[in-house]
Amino acid sequence: MVLVFAEHQNGQFKKAAFEAVTYGYKTAQLMGTDCAAIVLGEAEEAGILGAYGASKVYHVADQSLNKLDSQVYTTVLAEAISQLGATVCIMTHTSTGKSILGRLSARLSAGSAAGVKELPTVSDGFKVKKDVFSGKAIATVSITSDIKLVSLMGNSLQPEKVGDAVETASLEVAIPESKVKVLSVDRVEGTTPLPEAELVVSGGRGMKGPENWGVLEDLADALGATTACSRPVADTGWRPHHEHVGQTGIAIRPNLYIAMGISGAIQHLAGVNNSKTIVVINKDPEAPFFKAADYGVVADLFEVVPKLTEAVKKFKAE
Amino acid sequence: MKLLVCISKTPETTTKIALNEDGTAFKTEGVQYIMNPYDEWYALVRALELKEAVGGSVTAVNVGSAGNDTIIRKALAIGADDAVRINAEPHSSLYIAKQIAEFAKSENFDIIFFGKEAIDYNGSEVGAMVAEFLDMPFISYANKLEVEGNTAKVAREIEGGVEVAEVQTPFALSAAKGLAEQRIPNMRGIMMAKRKPLKVVEAVDFEDQAKAVAYELPPPKSAVKLIDPDNMEELVRLLHEEAKVI
């Protein structure tokens, strides 16, 4: 059986969870087995995972699992894998998944592949591809243990509905006491966080100063995009650090990445080159970023971006 | 406090990746190696700051061959008190974690620091694995750490926000940007590093459960399509009809 650990935030499932179930469902089909999902902590709508291919949704609805403790989650998941006889466990490559995957691997002596973006091949052992060197190469990882662990990079495949929601089943698992006390969780409200954003508009030094960000934000608003920036912009304090994308900031893989006034240093590209479509706006035709772009506009961004914003608004209105 | 910082060796960030003929390994000729930036800039420096504030020691540990000594000496030059190299070719995350855990289990470290990920394999796994082998809590992507007595308050990056947790020593954490500011080793540090102890210990046997068996380079990007700056409607049309992203 393929078991998908489906993550939620305060009972709400995000797209990443549905992607993971779709991935689990397709992996189970390849292996000729079933896919089930497991949900930890209180969540009312857990049965919805059935619509994405989980034939069963196991729910350990204990309140003590509402907040993440990697040690406690690992114990519960290891027990569930053993009770259910799962041979593959899928999770999301998020802050939660990253805290658990390695632990579970050590607990179960199970091989793992972190941050995969394609379905495995199962005809000649269990092999799965993942990016290495920040996307500069792709490795094929062969997992040889009886239990295989995989975390799925966000936005790697589209969630697909294949059926209806199912009734959840409870699972009797002893929950150890947590050694981590979560004091607070603060999320920026309103905008989609960068790791989950499908559309991103990003600015670099070519923006000339924090007072000029209005032109970028107008475009982001028109598109419904999340804003980001390059490292020098975050380092000089023009924009907050959590907007910094690149090798030492956040690595993202949106559907659309629009870069304005960013030259495209190799460290910046390492964090964004997995974007499906890249648009580069820069007045310097020699900017290295154009080599990595799908579409380019050689122009003064302060003149051309407002025109692009108008064109987007017109398109949305139609 | 007794602090351990786990450091790894990675290719320098501007490295161009090339493969050998059958795609089973990377070409190492001409590749410059550095200490993984998250280990050096954030994990190591925060450990040093903590030692400076409350006393104790900072040990750096690396799994690798003698070629890694340059990088280990750099950690000593930045300020680590001593270092241990576990003499083995690091071939998988679980293998590396097992080696570090075997060394650390009898040493009673209060906090074990990792970088949030290595910039080569981007797995973000070793810290969680070591914490599991040693049965201690693990806080990933920490960007703030305050310690009072045996209690630590740690802020960690989550999607679109920050979570703050309280945890008792011993525990492990992985360091993200914000945890500390990079330190450049000075001449005195570099001279002193030569006299600091660097112990080499042998690896324990451990079977890999997962291994990279082949590599490929991503398909080359097709040439950029340049759009007339006076025709942004055309760009919007292409994004909608051709790229299908809006």
**How many angstroms separate the CA atoms of A171 and A153, rounded?**
28
Name the burial class of residue A15, with classes exposed (0-12), middle (13-18) and buried (19+) by CB atoms within 10 angstroms of its CB.
middle
Cβ B221–A112 below 8 Å, yes or no? no
Question: Per the structure, how many domains does chain B have?
Answer: 1
Read off the pLDDT of residues A90-113 as tens digits, 9 standing for 90 and up.
999 999 999 999 999 999 999 999
Q: Is residue B245 part of a domain?
A: no
Q: Is residue B188 part of a domain?
A: yes
Q: Is residue B46 part of a domain?
A: yes
Strands, DSSP E only, in chain A?
2-5, 8-9, 12-13, 35-40, 56-60, 88-92, 111-116, 126-132, 137-143, 148-152, 168-170, 180-187, 199-203, 226-229, 256-260, 277-282, 295-298
Strands, DSSP E only, in A61-188?
88-92, 111-116, 126-132, 137-143, 148-152, 168-170, 180-187
A194-317, CATH topology level: Rossmann fold (3.40.50)
Q: Which residues of B touch A183 (CB under 8 A)?
A: 153, 164-166
Global pTM reads 0.92
Q: Is residue B96 part of a domain?
A: yes
Read off the pLDDT of residues B80-101 as tens digits, 9 standing for 90 and up.
999 999 999 988 999 999 999 9
**Which residues constitute the domain of residue B27?**
2-218
> Which A residues in the span 163-182 are in contact with B, Cβ-Cβ below 8 Å?
179-182
Q: Is residue B120 part of a domain?
A: yes
CATH of domain A2-170: 3.40.50.620
Read off the pLDDT of residues A176-187 as tens digits, 9 standing for 90 and up.
999 999 999 998
Cβ B163–A256 below 8 Å, yes or no? no
| CATH code for the domain in which residue B166 is found | 3.40.50.620
Average pLDDT over residues A199-206: 97
Cβ A74–B168 below 8 Å, yes or no? no
Cβ B13–A70 below 8 Å, yes or no? no
Q: Which residues of B touch A195 (CB under 8 A)?
A: 159-160
Cβ A114–B94 below 8 Å, yes or no? no
Interface test with A, best of B125, B241, B244 (most A CBs within 10 A): B125
Q: Which residues of B touch A182 (CB under 8 A)?
A: 163-165
Q: Which residues of A touch B240 (CB under 8 A)?
A: 315
What is the chain A residue with the closest CA to B208? A111
Q: Which of A101-110, B64-73, B216-225 has the lowest mean pLDDT?
A: B216-225
Domain limits of chain A?
A: 2-170, 194-317
Min distance A99 CA to chain B CA atoms (Å) = 6
Read off the pLDDT of residues B115-172 as tens digits, 9 standing for 90 and up.
999 988 888 999 999 999 999 999 999 999 999 999 999 999 998 889 999 999 999 9
Q: Is residue B203 part of a domain?
A: yes
Q: Is residue B235 part of a domain?
A: no
